Structure 1
C-alpha cells in the first residue's frame, strides 16, 4: 500500500511539473506597429544625369553623378492587421550632393571652370506595406519623389540657376522595434525623375543644349518615435 501511495505521489509530481515550468515562462507579445510617428533619417545619395551638347560648347562632363550626404525628418502612420502593416510616410531631407557637369565655352566663361550641379533638397510621399515578425518588420514602399537642384556658374556675378524635379520612387527596408515607442530602420530608395532642363539661359544662347536628371539611389538609416 505504501509503495502504491509513493508511486501515485511521484506520478502526480511529474504530471504537474511541465505545467509549472510553462507557467514560469513569459512570452513577450508581438510588437504593435499601429499609430502615428515622427522620426529622423540620415544617409548617402547618388544622383545621375545626362548632358545633351548640340554645338560642342560644353566640355565632356567631369562627372555623370552628384554624390553626398543627406539628412532630414519623417512623419507617418501605420495600421496593423495581424502580421500585415499598412502605412503612409512623408519625409524631407536637406541634401549636400554635388558634381561637375562640364566646362562651359560660352560667353566669357573659360572651359577650365566647370558648371557645378548641386542637390540641396530631397523629399518623398510614399505608401508602405510591411510584414511584422516579432519585433521586426520588413517593408516595401512607393510613391512620389521631389528634388531641388542648383546649377552654378563661376563668373564674377556667381550666377545660380534653380531647378525643381518631380518623379516616382520605390524602396524597401527593415525596421526593428527597440522599445514600445521607438524603432530603428535601414532602407534603400530608388527615385526616377527623367526630366530635361534647357541650358540656353545658362549659356546665353539658343542652341538647345540641355541636361536631364535621370535617377537617384539613396541608402539611409533612421529612428522613429511613435505616439
Structure 2
C-alpha cells in the first residue's frame, strides 16, 4: 500500500512539472493567433488633425463672357457666332493652403474603412484675364445686289479667387503594421470670389454691288455697343474629389500623413476650376 501511494505522488509531481512547461505555449494561454500573428497598429476610432499643402490649379476663363453675350445678343444674327468665341485663356496658378480634418475609422482585420470631413483654406489662389477680338460676320438676308456684313468686336475679362473648400469623403486603406496606404473619393464644395464683364460692339455694313458695272460700295446701316458686368463675393461651387495617401503611426495616438488630392469643380459664372493639392498632416487618434 505504501508503495502505491509513493508511486501516485511521484506521478503527480511529474505531471505538474510538464503542465508548467506547456503553459508557455500560446495555444494554451488563449488564442493561437495571439502568439503567432504579426504586430499591427489599431487604426479603429475617431481622429482629428491639421494639415499644410501646396496646390496647383487650372482656371479656364475661355468661355467666361458667354452667358452675358448670349443675353445681350439674344434673338439676333450675332448670338450664335459670338457666343462660340473662346476669348480668354486658361491660367495655371500655384498657392499654399492649410486646414483641418476629422474622421472615423472602422477596422476589419487588415482592411480599414472610414469617413472624413476635410477643410482647406487657400492662400491667394487667384487669377484674372482680359482680351478682345474682332471678326467679320455675315448678316441676315439682304435685298438683291446687297449684302450685310457685321464688323464685330468682343472684349471681356474675368477673375476668380478660390477662398476655401471642404470635402466629404469615404476612404479605404490597408493596415500594414505602422503604415496604412489609402484611397478616397467624395464630394467637394468651394467658396470663390468671381467677377467678369463683356462688351460687344458692331458696325453693320451694307455692301452694294452694281449689277451693270460690278463695282461695289459700302455704307453703314447701323451700329451698336452693349456692355454687361457682374461680381459675386461668395459664389459656391460644387464638385468631386479623389486621391491617395499614406499614414504612419508615430505613436499609438499620433498619426502622420501625406496625400495627393484632386478636386474638380463645376463652372462658376462659366469659369471652370480644378486643382491638385499635395498635403502633409498630423493627427490625434482617440
Q: 1:66 and 1:164 mapped to 2: Cα distance?
A: 20
Deviations 1:166-220 (A, max 9, x none): 1111111111000010010000111122x2333xxxxxxxxxxx3223x221111
CA deviation profile, 1:98-117 (whole Å, cap 9, x unmatched): 12233589xxxxx8x96432
Structure 1 or 2, whichever has the larger Rg, is: 2
Specify which of 262, 265, 271 is matched with residue 190 of structure 1: 262
**How far apart are residue 81 of structure 1 and its match?**
1.1
- 2:75 aligned residue: none
> Is 1:44 matched up with 2:72?
no
- The TM-score normalised by the length of structure 1 is 0.69
Query: Which of the numbers 18, 21, 29 marks the counterpart of 2:39?
Result: 29
C-alpha contact 1:66 1:117 (8 A) present in aligned 2: no
Gaps of 5+ in 1: 1-18, 20-26, 106-110, 154-158, 199-209
Offset at 1:48? 2.0
1:89 to 111, 116, 119: 116
Distance 1:130 1:58 in 2: 43
Query: Judging changes above 3 Å, is the alpha-carbon distance between structure 1 residues 176 and 115 closer, same or farther for their aligned structure 2 residues?
Result: same
* In the alignment, structure 1 residue 178 sits paired with structure 2 residue 250: yes
- C-alpha distance in 2, partners of 1:196/1:141? 23
1:168 to 240, 246, 256: 240
Hey, what's the Cα distance between the residues in 1 that align with 2:53 and 2:188? 16
The two structures have a TM-score, normalised by structure 2, of 0.55
80 and 94 in structure 1: CA distance in 2 versus 1, 3 angstrom threshold: same
Q: Give, in angstroms, the shift of residue 58 of structure 1.
A: 9.1
Aligned pair partner of 1:117 in 146, 160, 167: 160
Match of 1:140? Answer: 183
Show the 5 A alignment for 1:92-103.
Answer: 92-96=119-123, 97-102=125-130
Q: Please tell me whether residue 223 in structure 1 is matched to residue 278 in structure 2.
A: no
CA distance in 2, matches of 1:64, 1:126: 28
In 2: Cα distance, 1:137 partner to 1:180 partner: 14
